[in-house]
Copies of this chain bind each other. A is one copy, B any other.
Amino acid sequence: MALIVQKFGGTSVGTVERIQQVAEKVKKFRENGDDIVVVVSAMSGETNRLIDLARQVSDDQPVPRELDVMVSTGEQVTIALLAMALIKRGVPAVSYTGNQVRILTDSAHNKARILQIDDQKLRADLKAGRVVVVAGFQGVDEHGNITTLGRGGSDTTGVALAAALKADECQIYTDVDGVYTTDPRVVPQAQRLEKITFEEMLEMASLGSKVLQIRSVEFAGKYNVPLRVLHSFQEGPGTLITLDEEETMEQPIISGIAFNRDEAKLTIRGVPDIPGVAFKILGPISATNIEVDMIVQNVAHDNTTDFTFTVHRNDYQSAYQVLENTARELGAREVIGDIKIAKVSIVGVGMRSHAGVASRMFEALAKENINIQMISTSEIKVSVVIEEKYLELAVRALHTAFELDAPARQGE
């Protein structure tokens, strides 16, 4: 008999019919003898409806505390509906808001962090044979104010509850049946991964595989909560995300290929090569609240250097202006930019124990005549920036080169 925390997102509980399907699913688990805690989001569309109402009365700037009072009602409706649907099916159930559980958070409204979870009530209910339905995304601060964890925070609620209850598994139900080696829309031979480590998942997630909220993966890694990504309405084992690296030894060195085309590249050329120049360039960018992703500075040449970094495409124009000012101040030669770029990364803990992974990547790209504009590496990841039009070609080439293509389809 296992203790399982199951999280269903807004689409999975988007209609009365879907809530009933979720109830059926939970019932089956219960009948297998497992103890179940369900975490649900607001019905899809509901949070936006509430935020829209809030904007209407507050010139688009809702007071954060009151916005939390409002949007937290979204999940409150879903927990009650799911508890009702379970009880109607003969499954004893009880719903709790974040406040009722007591999911204690800090007071950072709209983006609060969980500090502590009181597991007393939940344990008593589980012991009494009840399914516990908890509102995701919300908590309460020490003064009794309602808080929310920010968008997607329901995943974090699920993982935090699983950690507090020392659950055997935290299952995140989504609209995909697991984590793939890469986006199947780009590479039809992409395969569902049976297992992936937290570290790899973090790299995959932050690089654009938006299956899970990054924060919830960090949280799961920190507390070693086995996390499983599953499809809400299809059967299947999904993908298990764990600490465990050993069993991946026999698997390919690379777990997956991540990519995104949300970035733009900026280069400041002919900057005097003096100490502190990196800060002089990036300081004004950060001060404008623009996040920088990749940063590359090569060795100096004639006492000047070229400095390149990437930002989100939405920030490209403002970053360009800031950089032009900096260029004038530093007496740099010029600023050039490019929004038609894409980032492709190979991710895998296998890199740690295998040499030559990066060169194998570069070789595969070279074979396709794809020029690499920037390179950045971490312990379990190699990222390159290439011209956007080569993105699909690059991803497919790498998927094949690292033997990730599904065997059944290899002959295609």
Contacts and interface: CB of A to CB of B under 8 A. Distances in A.
A385 interface: no
Interface in A194-219: none
Contacts of A70: 76-77, 80-81
Interface residues of A, number: 38
Contacts of A56: 16
A62 interface: yes
A36 interface: no
B19 A57 contact: yes
Interface in A41-100: 50, 53-54, 56-59, 62-63, 65-67, 69-70, 72-73, 76-77, 79-81, 83-85, 87-88, 94-95, 97, 99-100
Contacts of A100: 144-146
A87 B63 contact: yes
A94 B68 CA distance: 12
A80 B100 CA distance: 19
Nearest to A57: B85
A20 interface: yes
Q: Chain A interface mostly helix, strand, loop or mixed?
A: helix
Contact of A66 (B19, B66, B95): B95
Contacts of A66: 80-81, 83-84, 87, 95
Nearest to A49: B77
Nearest to A76: B73
A65 B85 contact: no
Contact of A58 (B67, B77, B79, B88): B88
Nearest to A121: B144
A381 to B, nearest CB: 43
From A72, A84, A97, A146, residue with most partner B Cβ within 10 Å = A84
Contacts of A16: 53, 56-57
24 contacts: A16-B53, A16-B56, A16-B57, A19-B57, A23-B57, A50-B77, A58-B84, A58-B87, A62-B84, A63-B83, A63-B87, A65-B94, A66-B81, A67-B84, A69-B76, A69-B79, A69-B83, A69-B95, A73-B73, A97-B146, A99-B99, A100-B144, A100-B145, A100-B146
Interface of A: 16, 19-20, 23, 50, 53-54, 56-59, 62-63, 65-67, 69-70, 72-73, 76-77, 79-81, 83-85, 87-88, 94-95, 97, 99-100, 144-146
The 4 closest A-B pairs by CB, nearest first: A73-B73, A70-B80, A69-B80, A66-B80
